[in-house]
Amino acid sequence: MSSKNEFLKAAISPKIVKVSVYFEAARPSITDQVDVIQYIKQMQIRRVVYAADLKVDQIGRCLRFFDDAQGRSKSETMGDLMAFLKSMTGRQLVQKEAKVYTIQILRLIKSLEVVDDELYLTLDGQRLLGYCQNNRTKFLDYLGWLLLTRAGWVKVVSEIEQLRRGMLYGLSMKHLVELLVDNLKKDKLLRRTDSWHMSALIDCLVTLRILKPWDPVQMRYDTDKERLYDLLVRKTFT
C-alpha cells in the first residue's frame, strides 16, 4: 500500500462486528463458568513452567526439531538444541546463557510430556506435531490444554482472574504483571523468572485465545471463560 488513496480504500473497507445469539441450554451457563474456576482451584498444580520467552509457534518448531533429532544420542540432541535455539530466537547468546535456556526449554517440553527421557517424541508429542503441521486450530487447542494442565498455566489464568476481581482501580500492565509474579512466587509456583518474562507467557495465553488482549481502557486482561471451559471440560484430549 503506497498511496494515500489506497490507504483510504482500506480504511473504509467494512469493519466486522460479530454478534452471536445463543441459548442457555446450548452453551455453558454462568454456573458452569463458575465451575471452571472451582475446577481450576482444585487442580493439583505444583509449578508454573515456561522458558526463554518462547512464542506458541516456536514451541511447535521445537517439536519439529525433536522429531528431526530422532535417532541421535541425547548429548548430540542437546548440543544441536543450543544451536537451534540461537537460530530460532535470533539472540546472540553466550554459551552459559544458551545452556540455561536449553535446560529450561527441555524442562518445559518434558513437563508437557511430549518427549520422553531419551528425548523421543511421545504419542502426545506426535499428535501435537501432526496438528502443528496440518491444523492450526487443533494445534492451538491441544497446546493450550497441555500448557494449562501440565505446565501449570491454569494457575496464571486463575491468578489473573483473581487480580481482575480484586482490583478496585486499574493497574498498569507492568504493575499487574509484577504483582502476578509476586503472587505466584508467594504460592511457591514460581522460583525465578530471570530468563523469561511473565509478559511473554501472557502473550502466549492471548495467542491461545484463553486471555483476551490487554484492554487499555479498562486496564485489565479478561479471561475467555467459554474458551477455558472448552479446553478444560468440553473438549476431550485424553
Partner 1 sequence: MQALINIDPKERLVVIPQSKIRFNVRVDHPKTNWKRIEIHINYNPIFSRPPCKYVITEKNEINMSSLTEELTIVEKRLGEVPLGDIIVNVDGEERSQYLPTVRIMSLDAYFEEKVAEKLRELEFEAIRLGGPGRPDVEANPKTEPTQRVQVEATLEDHYNVQRFRNDIGKFHHFKRARQYKRLLIVVNSDKISDVVVQQLRRTTDPISLIRYEHLENLVSHFLQGRVSKYQVIAVLMARTGLVDMENLT
Site for partner 1 contains 53 (CB under 8 A): yes
Query: Pick from 32, 176, 199, 228: which binds partner 1 (CB under 8 A)?
Result: 199
Q: What does 65-124 look like in DSSP terms, one character per residue?
A: HHHHTTTS-HHHHHHHHHHHHHHHH-----HHHHHHHHHHHHHHHHHTTSB-TTS-B-HH
- Is there a contact between 124 and 146 (Cβ–Cβ < 8 Å)? yes
Site for partner 1 contains 95 (CB under 8 A): no
Site for partner 1 contains 94 (CB under 8 A): no
Closer residue to partner 1 (CB): 124 or 203: 203
Q: Which of 56, 129, 133, 58 is nearest to 90 (CA)?
A: 58
Tell me how far apart the alpha carbons of residues 233 and 4 are, in angstroms, rounded to a whole number: 49
Site string for partner 1, 138-177 (x = CB under 8 A): -----------------------------------xx---
Closest approach, Cβ 199 to partner 1, in A, equals: 5
Query: Pick from 88, 132, 180, 205: which binds partner 1 (CB under 8 A)?
Result: 88
Site for partner 1 contains 42 (CB under 8 A): no
Closest approach, Cβ 4 to partner 1, in A, equals: 5
- Is there a contact between 189 and 111 (Cβ–Cβ < 8 Å)? no
Beta bridge partners, 220, equal 215
